[in-house]
Amino acid sequence: MSTDTQIVQLDEKAIKQVAVLLSKEEKDPSDFGLRLAIKGGGCSGLSYDLRFDQKADKDLTQEFSNPDQAASIKNINVFIDPKSAIYLKGMSVEFDDGLMGKGFVFRNPNATNTCGCGESFSVF
Amino acid sequence: MTLLVKGKDAENFISRQASNSLKDSNYAAFLKPKGQIVSLCFIEKSNGFFEISCQNQELLKEHLEKFIIVDDVEIEISGKGINPKVKLEGFVEDQSIIKLVETYPDILEKYVDFSKGCFPGQEVLSKFKNIGLKKREERSKKFTDEALEIFAQAKNNQEDLDPAIDLLKKALKENPRNEDAYESLGVMLAKQEKFPAAIAVMQQLEMINPKNQMALMNLSIFYMKMGDKETAEEYKAKGTVLKFEEALKQ
């Protein structure tokens, strides 16, 4: 799958980690990708939904090359439904693997308000 | 003023004329065969007769009396005041009910029972529901999808959103119950920092579906941006309670 249009950015660590997890869960990367979606709720109003899923009809797709050249999975796909895209556009996903690492961290340059848990935000 | 419909055959007679099932009380429309509205009413059953509250009692009485042939039915105008439930702004006599549905999309749900026996105007309404309404819903969805596509391609420039916003407004004209269109329109208006307009749109979404979490959450965010923390917290609390209720159901 190729990229329809740029909605989100993933940093290199995030891409690698997604590929590792896809491998661990034995999901075929040509069939499964990372779904990013928005749902209501959370301390700041909106929350992210993150899971492996197959592409749905109207999904916007972005393909990312795995910077880990030794890995078996060379590319990963990100799927975003068009309605979530209006909230997610411009977002970047990073992977924090440090000592106090939080795992996947969502940075939204549009977010004017985030909560301490880092999982909830508002975009206006 | 109301109409009182009495007689042994009153229930059967009203049933054959009204667009909705008769219960102890219910909204109903009286239509001509091609769907023009004679009257929008609120019908109450009381002590063996029917009390019909409507805006134009004399017109309705004259209309209904044309259909009394051998039925034991008597219709009289009573002096009671009009039930405010049937006051509808923009209602025009002899207007097609289909036209009125465009302004008041919940008219079909409120005034019509498609599973009841025949009534004048039923064919027009059924056709509209099965064909006309479906086509409008499809067009509305198409406009919404196009708007979201435009948004996805936009360079994050507030001006770029105007074509998408216009499409969403078109989508809502076609189907005033398109929840996705309301939500998307509200969010895009907010991105243009037109928060009062965004709030108005989200409040319409909340009216259509009080259980729409995104409406409640977006309203909370928009009010916060407007500096109204109290209202923002109210909407957030509403959304949170709803979330818990839905989680408990599962």
Counting residues of chain B whose pLDDT is more than 90, the rounded percentage is 52
Distance from CA of B184 to the nearest CA of A (A): 7
Q: Strands B37-46 and B25-31, how do they pair?
A: antiparallel
Identify the band that residue A19 occupies on the pLDDT scale cut at 50, 70 and 90.
Answer: very high
Average pLDDT over residues B45-55: 86
What's the confidence (pLDDT) of residue A115?
A: 46
Is residue A74 scored above 80 in pLDDT?
Answer: yes
Alpha-carbon gap, residue A69 to B129, rounded angstroms:
57
Sequential DSSP letters for B191-223: HTT-HHHHHHHHHHHHHH-TT-HHHHHHHHHHH
Identify the band that residue B120 occupies on the pLDDT scale cut at 50, 70 and 90.
Answer: very high
Handedness of CA A56, A62, A68, A74 (dihedral sign): positive
* CA nearest neighbour of B37 among B90, B78, B75, B79: B90
Contacts of A40 in chain B (CB under 8 A): 213-214, 216-218, 239, 243
A88-123 pLDDT tens trace: 888 899 998 877 777 888 887 655 544 444 444 444
Size of interface A-B (CB pairs under 8 A): 65
Amino acid present at B101: V
Distance from CA of B216 to the nearest CA of A (A): 8
CB contact under 8 A, B148 and A83: yes
What's the confidence (pLDDT) of residue A102?
A: 73
Does B141 or B87 have the greater pLDDT score? B141
What's the confidence (pLDDT) of residue A9?
A: 92
Q: Which residues of A touch B (CB under 8 A)?
A: 4-5, 7, 39-41, 45-46, 58, 60, 82-83, 85-87, 89-90, 112-113, 122-124
CB contact under 8 A, B151 and A4: no
- B36-61 exposure pattern, b = at least 16 Cβ within 10 A, e = fewer: bbbbbbbbbbeeebbbbbbbbbeebb
What's the confidence (pLDDT) of residue B78?
A: 84
Average pLDDT over residues B198-219: 93
CB contact under 8 A, B236 and A45: yes
Count of Cβ atoms closer than 10 Å to residue B67 Cβ = 12
What's the confidence (pLDDT) of residue A122?
A: 47
CB contact under 8 A, A124 and B191: yes
B148-176 pLDDT tens trace: 999 988 876 566 899 999 999 999 988 88
Residues 6+ apart with CB under 8 A from B131: none
| DSSP designation for B36 | B
Q: Which residues of B touch A (CB under 8 A)?
A: 145, 148-149, 151-153, 156, 180, 183-184, 187-188, 190-191, 193, 195, 213-214, 216-218, 220-222, 224-225, 236, 239-240, 243
What's the confidence (pLDDT) of residue B216?
A: 93
What's the confidence (pLDDT) of residue B158?
A: 65
Using an 8 Å Cβ cutoff, are B2 and B52 in contact? yes
Q: How far is CA B35 from the centre of its chain?
A: 17
Residues 6+ apart with CB under 8 A from B130: none
Is residue A44 scored above 60 in pLDDT?
Answer: no
* CA nearest neighbour of A50 among A40, A38, A35: A35
Contacts of B188 in chain A (CB under 8 A): 86
What's the confidence (pLDDT) of residue A3?
A: 66
A-chain residue closest to B216, CA distance? A40
Identify the band that residue B24 occupies on the pLDDT scale cut at 50, 70 and 90.
Answer: confident
Contacts of B243 in chain A (CB under 8 A): 40-41
Distance from CA of A95 to the nearest CA of B (A): 25
Is residue B60 scored above 80 in pLDDT?
Answer: yes
Per mean pLDDT, which range of A27-31, A111-115, B169-173, B195-199 is the poorest? A111-115
Amino acid present at B45: K
Is residue B187 scored above 90 in pLDDT?
Answer: yes
What the block records as the tokens of B132 is 């006309």
CB contact under 8 A, B221 and A46: yes
CB contact under 8 A, A89 and B152: yes
Of B145, B213, B222, the CB nearest to A40: B213
Which one of B143, B148, B150, B158 would you mutate to disrupt binding with A, by most A Cβ within 10 Å of its Cβ? Answer: B148
Of B152, B190, B216, the CB nearest to A82: B152
Count of Cβ atoms closer than 10 Å to residue B146 Cβ = 16
Average pLDDT, chain A: 82
At which residue do the structure tokens 């509205």 appear?
B37
A52-73 pLDDT tens trace: 999 999 899 999 999 998 889 9
Which one of A78, A86, A110 would you mutate to disrupt binding with B, by most B Cβ within 10 Å of its Cβ? Answer: A86
In three-state secondary structure terms, A13 is helix
